Structure 1
Amino acid sequence: MASAAQRALAACVILALAGCNRSAPADNTAAVAGPQGWLAQLDDGSDGRDWPGFGRTYGEQHYSPLDEVNPETVSRLGLVWSLDLPPGNPATGPIAVDGILYFASGYSVAHAVDAATGRLLWTYDPKAPEASGHKLRQGWGSRGIAYWNGKVYIATQDGRLIALNAKTGKPVWTAMTMGKDDQRFISGPPRVFDGMVVIGNGGADEAAIRGYATAYDAETGEQKWRFFTVPGNPADGFETDAMKMSAKTWSGEWWKHGGGGTVWNAITYDKDSDTLYLGTGNGSPWNHKIRSAGKGDNLFLCSILALDAKTGAYKWHYQINPGESWDFNAAMDMQLADLTIGGKQRKVLMTAPKNGFFYVLDRLTGELISAEPFVTTTWAKRIDLKTGRPVEEPNIRYEDGPATFRPTPVGAHSWTPMAYSPKTGLVYIPAIDLEATFDDAGITAANWRRTPGMALDYGVRVDIRPPAGAKTLSYLVAWDPVTQKAAWRLPTPGHFNGGVLATGGNLVFQGHPDSSFTAYDGTSGKPLWNFDARAPVVAPPISYRVGDRQYVTVIAGMGTSAGLFGPLLAQFGIDYRTQSRRVLTFALDGKAVLPAKTPYVAKAAPDPGFRADAAAAGAGEGIFNIRCAVCHGGGAIAGGTAPDLRTSLAVMSPDIFTGIVRDGTLVPAGMPRFEELTDKELAAVRQYLRTRADALRRERP
């Protein structure tokens, strides 16, 4: 029989592993011309004064050419200022333009801060939780923000794309990017290019979702184009020839399941060819046998799509996992570079998606140049360079019983971005090494039904765990994209590590869940500097210049999917209620200090009225796993994205618990409402949580 700890970790697999109202135009007085203009700063070859996009530039390299901070000076790097943030998601990428730092924390609450002093200039709260309804049941808030011509762009959980005046924080225009009551949501950062702003959405793990991305006029919010990533019902006709083509690769009545293929994260723009690249998500549901009768490649799931940036017209595609069956989506960041391969300079797109292979593609044609595993990869023998298809291991589609493999739906690389340094020629990947077993015994297309109301339903039972005997579950990997080999590989704390920044000073910055924020030598991997952030650091750092001084900024605190696997994070003592969430900004000779951190150990309060009831607790566990574990953690062991309910006093009161869970009293704080749960179901969930609290009391009297 599995231990309580094993069952708690196993429960984690239920987690997600994933109109236009115009007002007056903005004051568009920001400088455009010249090498220092904000527009020029979006070019990959710009001087690095600003960090105006999620990956700094169009090419999403997460690289700053600034070199004042380097191996010789980094020992002098110190904290200049910090800014405390309220509860809510802090795992978000900031931007910096003309000495102002912009970021959207929590549920897309936008902030503008003087980058040199830390003085807060303005905030704007779109009140997304209150507007989200069922969309609040998945996703953890904004991972990023964008800038174009005097405006800052945020995308909200409920589906709004909002342009704010960068000087005042006042809304300029708002566009609703999805149906008000459909079951999509947004957590990814918008991207800007050529006077347009583009955004996708997520939700395919929880509902019948058909993926798409939409481009809007950056000045007015007018919709310019929309590209669907999977075909809809053939009876309704197809929007484009690309959808007509893709429908030939689907079977059954796929449109009733939505299909999936959401553009929830990765978007990259190539200015030279005026091409926009979309990285698409997994199928909905994951099980190919249910989704598409086990037949067909299911374009454009798990694909890199190249579109004409002006019109959204299809150019080419490369599918990473045809007929995807494992949540091996291609939505991890895609980086552009010019590399010399085989004696020829190639314009390439590079990506390290969930499936564990590092891909190098010709970004003009979509030709696969090379693909090799950057972590232990057991689901496929190799990628066939002639066909571009993986050579899969037997039974990997769990057609003849359970299939065990590495990596997992968590990903060999998750949403936290990698970085490419033109200086070293290396890509620095925050890599993950876990193992999964998939089993769909007894689950068929005839008997599977999606749970209503945005609940996690994959069409297959999934167990994710550390590999047997593994002591290291994550790495920082320096990868040579030309030779397709690791230059160096360092173990990192925990199972999930932070986004990466590379600099012209030959440094690589990365944070970790143990509260360390570290600078490494880009060539050797030697740690050169470390800062105790007094909080986990998973957000991507950025670097920029104000005056003659180089700054490095990162936002500390646990958020988004990084906190899903509570049992694997318990060693770090991360608590939703008490953890610090801070903007941290560093420069040479900074002297600021942080207050001491009070260690946290989860302890359950006394519950004298508790009486064991295994049957009720078992029923409650099932409800908790598909409704609640996505935020509160498998086995009710939270990892910092939501409160640890084993320690909650609210669980002891049926009235307070019902008010929160069914009536929605904490919706403004990000706790969704589950109005469909009956009194009996609520009582079962309470019994499960009180049982888990009782186990904690026995462990820690």
Structure 2
Amino acid sequence: MTLASMAIMGSVGAAAIQDDAVSDPNNWAAFGRTAGEQHFSPLTGISDANVNRLGLAWSMDLPPQNSVSTPLAVDGVLYTATGYSVVRAIDAATGKLIWEYDSRAAELAGRKLRQGWGIRGLAYGQGRIFVGTHDGRLVALDRRTGDVAWEARTLPLDNASFISGPPRYFDGKVIIGFGGGDVSAVRGYVTTYDAATGRQLWRFHTVPGNPADGFENDAMKMAAKTWAGEWWKYGGGGTVWNAMTYDRSTNSIILGVGNGSPWNHKIRSMGQGDNLFLASVVALDADSGAYKWHYQVNPGESWDYNASMDMELADLTIDGKPRQVLMTAPKNGFFYVIDRTNGELISAEPFVKVSWASRIDRATGRPIEHPDARYPDGKTFTMWPSPVGAHTWLPMAFSPQHRLAYIPAIEMATSYNDVGITRQNWVRTPGNAVDGAAIPNFVVKDAGPLNGTSSLLAWDPVAQRPAWKVPTPGPWNGGVMATAGNLVFQGRIDGTLNAYAADSGKRLWSFAAQAPVTAAPISYGVKGVQYVTVLTGMGTSGSAFGPLLPVNIDYRTQARRILTFRIGGRATLPATRPAPIAPAEDVSFASAPAVEGQGAIAYAQHCAVCHGVDVVAAGHAPDLRASTIPLDDAAFATVVRDGVLQANGMPRFEEFDDAKLGAIRQYIRSMGAAWRARLAAKH
């Protein structure tokens, strides 16, 4: 590291993430810039008046791994996390690499690698960069050198829990949650550490454990009354894998809690009880971790409708009175405004098509569910929105200037039933497979023209109605940033980064990024110049929904980069014309329907979450129909069973026997043959 780059690194204190005028607008020192997670920059150097002159300042090519995280910018240094927790420090003005840290998490994760897609963000505090790793560590790095200051193992090695979300720093502490409740018997919790030493300060479980073991606190004793049967044998779920917000005004850390494990309420809890604190917003005392209040968006959650989407804090005037509020647009399609001092529901209205409930009762705070929403008596029910959500983990933004929230909204359906599944016969599929004790159809092809669409939606949280709406291509769009320059920035899967007028939605600027742009942008200042930075590339939990994408996105050829812009920037990207993805030639393929049926089931349980439904990939992992590896049984076994590509993020399935490997391989080849037949029919 040069003396010049050392000089860039000044001293940024705790005020960096405060939600008030004390916070330095030139820094983006937390996932949402400040602790209140508004994803809003108060800088005005780039505005609706000059954004047409915004140009590329520099770019940096990245390895072919997940690149959808939100960077940080502190004192002129950009910090990014990509892949399985590879952290880089970069001179924000020039793009020169200062240091790089590789956690080697993919090599250490073992079976944890079978779920999750890499890291989504970082935290900063007390001169350190904090990053979680897929194998379950929280690591503190010296921000000047990248050296490890301390690391703490926050997850056991022997279950499917993993870290993909960003930690949060607050008041001398750093907190981390985790995911994994979709695939194994996991009990959710968050853990808080001393940011200086790594000493564990407190831990809060989000669902109760076995009553015979006693309860950790009164909150768990209270929550246990809302569960039935022997729920603890299933794990319960409730992982806090993404959203956490710090409210300095009430000294609260607020959690967005995940879904149940398994999804199906009938199996998990005999169909009884609200199952606290699943699918809930939970406030804890920031010093002790003691329970304060909760609001549950989906009592008795049964559809992967978690409350893990980002939560923005703001002060709004509602019914003529000032209110301290929390806003969230979770998966279930309703936009919630909650009093953040006590958890009282202020309002909730649908912002997309919703079929599972008619409304949220203001008096009780509970949804009025459709009578068939819980797929009773063998019925199949088509849910709007899907478990991907009306809004997924990619953050929305809130502008205190315009009093609008900007949501990357998704319209997608999923049908559910649980035919043949009972508490007596259900056994979780082994091997960290996705198994919610229900039968979802994630790609409902006849659900109508709205299915598989998306938009950038400006939402008035006081009036609870849209202010404007811009359609975006496909069922997956990018995270959002708003600025005081009357701008909203968002990337799209069509390979563009766009700036819109925050008050009207008019598109004012667009940049051809040569790859999908799904990460949320950030904006910051260096020596009086405002910059915008975003990462390009497709990744994470949209990876299963390739059949709904308007184009095939190739894992191998898409350009994964860091792009940084400034007014008057004149840098350019290299001209690229990647060949369109196409099915591999497979002259020896012979259909075997019975084997293909067995392979389809195994593929859906173990492979589709990364390689896509119907073997149609969405860019996070290779499209296996276009790969030559499934054409050779030895090569396929080397990758899938022996784990030769584990360091690249491809998990090892050491328990697969030759018959299972052969069935999956046969199914993949059959889907490649179907693709070739469709192409031949067109010509």
1:542 equivalenced with 2:550 (yes/no): no
CA drift of 1:463 comes to: 1.4
CA offsets 1:78-101 (integer angstroms, 9 cap, x no match): 000000000110011100000000
> Using the alignment, how far apart are the partners of 1:116 and 1:315 within structure 2?
43
1:488 equivalenced with 2:463 (yes/no): no
CA drift of 1:598 comes to: 1.7
Question: What TM-score comes out, normalization by structure 1 length?
Answer: 0.94
Match of 1:228 among 188, 205, 216: 205
Letter in 1 for 2:595: A
> Using the alignment, how far apart are the partners of 1:57 and 1:304 within structure 2?
19
CA drift of 1:599 comes to: 4.2
1:91 equivalenced with 2:71 (yes/no): no
Give the equivalent residue in structure 2 for 1:40.
Answer: 15
Give the equivalent residue in structure 2 for 1:412.
Answer: 390
> Using the alignment, how far apart are the partners of 1:568 and 1:104 within structure 2?
28
Count of aligned pairs between the two proteins: 670
1:617 equivalenced with 2:596 (yes/no): yes
Give the equivalent residue in structure 1 for 2:585.
Answer: 606
Give the equivalent residue in structure 1 for 2:404.
Answer: 426
Give the equivalent residue in structure 1 for 2:672.
Answer: 693
Give the equivalent residue in structure 2 for 1:671.
Answer: 650
CA offsets 1:101-122 (integer angstroms, 9 cap, x no match): 0011000100110000000111
Match of 1:655 among 634, 637, 649: 634
Give the equivalent residue in structure 2 for 1:583.
Answer: 562
CA drift of 1:30 comes to: 6.9
> Using the alignment, how far apart are the partners of 2:19 and 2:484 within structure 1?
13
Q: Are the aligned partners of 2:29 and 2:123 in contact in 1 as well (CA < 8 Å)?
A: yes
Give the equivalent residue in structure 1 for 2:52.
Answer: 75
> Using the alignment, how far apart are the partners of 1:605 and 1:482 within structure 2?
53
Q: Secondary structure at the match of 1:371?
A: strand
CA drift of 1:606 comes to: 2.2
> Using the alignment, how far apart are the partners of 1:472 and 1:447 within structure 2?
34
Letter in 2 for 1:433: E
> Using the alignment, how far apart are the partners of 2:48 and 2:150 within structure 1?
45
- Within a 5 Å distance, the mapping from 1:97-136 to structure 2 comes to 97-136=74-113
CA drift of 1:573 comes to: 3.2
> Using the alignment, how far apart are the partners of 1:412 and 1:697 within structure 2?
34
Q: Are the aligned partners of 2:410 and 2:452 in contact in 1 as well (CA < 8 Å)?
A: no
Q: Secondary structure at the match of 2:109?
A: helix
Match of 1:523 among 503, 519, 522: 503
Q: Secondary structure at the match of 1:121?
A: strand
> Using the alignment, how far apart are the partners of 2:411 and 2:322 within structure 1?
33
Q: Secondary structure at the match of 1:696?
A: helix
- Within a 5 Å distance, the mapping from 1:421-460 to structure 2 comes to 421-460=399-438
Q: Secondary structure at the match of 2:478?
A: coil
- Within a 5 Å distance, the mapping from 1:255-294 to structure 2 comes to 255-294=232-271
> Using the alignment, how far apart are the partners of 1:562 and 1:118 within structure 2?
29
CA offsets 1:47-93 (integer angstroms, 9 cap, x no match): 41100000000000000000111111000000000000001100111
- Within a 5 Å distance, the mapping from 1:255-334 to structure 2 comes to 255-334=232-311
Q: Are the aligned partners of 2:30 and 2:122 in contact in 1 as well (CA < 8 Å)?
A: yes
Match of 1:502 among 463, 482, 495: 482
Give the equivalent residue in structure 2 for 1:17.
Answer: none
Give the equivalent residue in structure 2 for 1:5.
Answer: none
Q: Which runs of 5+ in 1 are unaligned?
A: 1-26
1:196 equivalenced with 2:173 (yes/no): yes
CA drift of 1:432 comes to: 0.4
CA drift of 1:596 comes to: 2.2
1:632 equivalenced with 2:624 (yes/no): no
> Using the alignment, how far apart are the partners of 2:124 and 2:108 within structure 1?
24
> Using the alignment, how far apart are the partners of 2:624 and 2:547 within structure 1?
14
Q: Are the aligned partners of 2:599 and 2:660 in contact in 1 as well (CA < 8 Å)?
A: yes
Letter in 2 for 1:341: I
Give the equivalent residue in structure 2 for 1:250.
Answer: 227
Q: Are the aligned partners of 1:282 and 1:327 in contact in 2 as well (CA < 8 Å)?
A: yes
Letter in 2 for 1:676: E
> Using the alignment, how far apart are the partners of 1:383 and 1:689 within structure 2?
44
Letter in 2 for 1:389: R
Query: What RMSD in Å do the two structures reach over aligned CA positions?
Result: 1.4
CA drift of 1:572 comes to: 2.7
Letter in 2 for 1:686: R
Give the equivalent residue in structure 2 for 1:140.
Answer: 117
Q: Are the aligned partners of 1:474 and 1:495 in contact in 2 as well (CA < 8 Å)?
A: yes
> Using the alignment, how far apart are the partners of 1:196 and 1:473 within structure 2?
40
Give the equivalent residue in structure 1 for 2:3.
Answer: none
Q: Secondary structure at the match of 1:572?
A: coil
> Using the alignment, how far apart are the partners of 2:53 and 2:292 within structure 1?
49
Letter in 1 for 2:477: N
Q: Secondary structure at the match of 1:694?
A: helix
CA drift of 1:471 comes to: 7.3
Q: Are the aligned partners of 2:555 and 2:623 in contact in 1 as well (CA < 8 Å)?
A: yes
> Using the alignment, how far apart are the partners of 2:570 and 2:74 within structure 1?
24
Q: Secondary structure at the match of 1:124?
A: strand
> Using the alignment, how far apart are the partners of 2:124 and 2:333 within structure 1?
32
CA drift of 1:147 comes to: 0.8
Letter in 1 for 2:584: A
Q: Are the aligned partners of 2:14 and 2:171 in contact in 1 as well (CA < 8 Å)?
A: no
Q: Secondary structure at the match of 2:90?
A: strand
Letter in 2 for 1:86: P
Match of 1:473 among 431, 450, 453: 453
CA offsets 1:240-272 (integer angstroms, 9 cap, x no match): 110000000000010011001100000000112
Q: Are the aligned partners of 1:153 and 1:163 in contact in 2 as well (CA < 8 Å)?
A: yes
Letter in 2 for 1:489: K
CA drift of 1:31 comes to: 5.6
Letter in 2 for 1:326: W
CA offsets 1:568-607 (integer angstroms, 9 cap, x no match): 22x3331111111000000000011112232442222322
Q: Are the aligned partners of 2:452 and 2:548 in contact in 1 as well (CA < 8 Å)?
A: no
Give the equivalent residue in structure 2 for 1:394.
Answer: 371
Which fold has the larger relative contact order, with Cα–Cα distance below 8 Å and residues 6 or more apart in sequence? Answer: 1
CA drift of 1:377 comes to: 1.1
Q: Secondary structure at the match of 1:700?
A: helix
Letter in 2 for 1:463: N
Change (3 A) 1:543 1:317: same
Q: Are the aligned partners of 1:538 and 1:562 in contact in 2 as well (CA < 8 Å)?
A: no
Q: Secondary structure at the match of 1:225?
A: strand
Question: What TM-score comes out, normalization by structure 2 length?
Answer: 0.96
Greater displacement, 548-557 / 404-413 = 404-413
Deviating runs (4+, > 3 A) in structure 1? 29-32
> Using the alignment, how far apart are the partners of 2:679 and 2:526 within structure 1?
50
Q: Are the aligned partners of 2:517 and 2:537 in contact in 1 as well (CA < 8 Å)?
A: yes
CA offsets 1:301-320 (integer angstroms, 9 cap, x no match): 00000000111000010111
CA drift of 1:559 comes to: 0.9
Q: Which runs of 5+ in 2 are unaligned?
A: 1-5
Q: Are the aligned partners of 2:159 and 2:184 in contact in 1 as well (CA < 8 Å)?
A: no
